[in-house]
């Protein structure tokens, strides 16, 4: 039986592809389960230094496949069982994550991208939170990530109106990292992932942990966390080599350790 998520590793980059192109990669319980497994595999593989999440075909993800919704099902329990493990896996990995939004990203499909560190979007893509249009609240982490990315007022606007926005609008809202023309999209994503793969991977993990803690912490809490993580960073092989490279007036070569 065809898997609904494709997993490939090339040159230190794990590419995880939602693979239901005939349904615009709409989400099912099977796909979400396979997605968790793929993210966890990438996170545990020391050879992987970047994780890219994308969709097969002409779209990124149209959200939950409504044809799989059963009458009377408890949407909250479904979230707890299938969506929340995915969002936690993406948001808590210590490796940099890139959502390559190659087309429509709607509903929970957009939510998946919000859990990533970076969002590169194709110029002709359309994005929509859209939950309000089917009488549901935003979920899969969107109520947490979206206000932090674009501010509470704009996040509420997108949630209540359910409008579809263009790639350029998403860039204006600071919702995405960059907009790329369709003909160069794959090359730009690859180049961006390669750039990240050459950074000090272990230190990236420390930065992500510090950043995640900041919104719930006091200044004193964060100063204390700085001490802990800077001590760890100072002991990495990458830091030691970078200092030596600086002394020798050479460019550092980070190995991710």
- Give 248's pLDDT tier (boundaries 50, 70, 90): confident
Determine the pLDDT at residue 185: 96
Three-state SS at 97: strand
With 80 as the cut, is the pLDDT of residue 126 above it? yes
Q: What share of the chain is helix, strand, coil (3-state, %, to 5)?
A: 50, 20, 30
Binned at pLDDT 50, 70 and 90, residue 5 comes out as very high
**Res. 90: pLDDT tops 90:** yes
Q: Where in the chain is the domain with CATH 3.90.226.10?
A: 5-197
Q: How many Cα atoms within 13 Å fall on the side-chain side of residue 85?
A: 16
Please provide the size of the chain in residues.
Answer: 257
Q: pLDDT of 169-180, one tens digit each? A: 999 999 999 999
Per-residue pLDDT, averaged over 130-138, amounts to 93
pLDDT band at 215; cut points 50, 70, 90: confident
134 is written with which tokens?
């089917």
Architecture of the structural domain at 201-247 = Orthogonal Bundle (1.10)
Cβ atoms of 161 and 132 within 8 Å: the answer is yes
Please, are residues 64 and 100 in contact by the beta-carbon 8 Å criterion?
no
pLDDT beyond 80 at 1: no
Element (H, E) at 18: strand 13-18
Helix (H) or strand (E) holding 16: strand 13-18
The matching CATH number, chosen from 2.60.40.10, 3.40.50.300, 3.40.50.150, 3.90.226.10, for 5-197 is 3.90.226.10
pTM, entire model: 0.93
Choosing from 117, 139, 238, 239, the catalytic residue is 139
**Measured between alpha carbons, how far is 17 from 8 in angstroms, rounded to an integer?**
8
pLDDT in tens, 19-70: 999 999 999 999 999 999 999 999 999 999 999 999 999 999 999 988 887 7
Q: What is the model's pLDDT at position 66?
A: 85
Residue 4's pLDDT is what? Answer: 95
Residue 89 scores a pLDDT above 90: yes
Q: Residue 18: pLDDT band by 50, 70, 90 thresholds?
A: very high
| pLDDT of amino acid 192 | 96
Banded model confidence at residue 72, pLDDT cuts 50, 70, 90: confident
Q: Which of 6, 45, 65, 84 is catalytic?
A: 84
239 catalytic? Reply is no
Q: How far apart are CA 97 and CA 39, in angstroms?
A: 10
Q: Where in the chain is the domain with CATH 1.10.12?
A: 201-247
Q: Measure the CA angle with vertex 192, ends 186 and 198; round to 5°.
A: 135
Annotation marks residue 139 as catalytic: yes
Per the prediction, the chain carries an average pLDDT of 94
E strands along 33-117, which residues?
50-55, 59-61, 97-101, 104-106
């Amino acid at each position: 039986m065809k898997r609904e998520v494709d997993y490939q590793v090339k040159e230190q980059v794990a590419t995880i592809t939602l693979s239901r192109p005939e349904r615009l990669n709409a989400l099912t319980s099977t796909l979400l389960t396979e997605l968790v497994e793929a993210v966890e595999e990438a996170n545990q593989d020391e050879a992987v230094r970047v994780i890219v999440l994308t969709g097969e075909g002409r779209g990124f993800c149209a959200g939950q496949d409504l044809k799989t919704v059963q009458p009377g099902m408890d949407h909250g329990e479904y979230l707890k069982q299938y969506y929340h493990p995915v969002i936690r896996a993406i948001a808590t990995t210590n490796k940099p994550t890139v959502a390559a939004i190659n087309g429509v990203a709607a509903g929970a499909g957009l939510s998946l991208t919000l859990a990533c560190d970076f969002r590169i979007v194709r110029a002709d893509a359309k994005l929509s939170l859209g939950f309000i249009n089917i009488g549901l609240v935003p979920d899969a982490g969107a109520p947490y990530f979206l206000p932090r990315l674009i501010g509470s007022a704009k996040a509420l606007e997108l949630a209540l109106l359910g409008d579809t926005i263009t790639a350029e609008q998403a860039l204006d809202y600071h919702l995405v990292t960059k907009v790329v023309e369709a003909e160069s999209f794959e090359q730009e994503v690859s180049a961006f992932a390669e750039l990240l793969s050459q950074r000090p991977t272990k230190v990236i993990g420390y930065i992500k942990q510090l950043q995640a803690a900041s919104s719930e912490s006091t200044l004193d809490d964060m100063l204390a966390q700085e001490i802990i993580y800077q001590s760890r960073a100072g002991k990495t092989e990458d830091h030691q080599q970078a200092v030596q490279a600086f002394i020798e007036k050479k460019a550092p070569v980070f190995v991710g350790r």
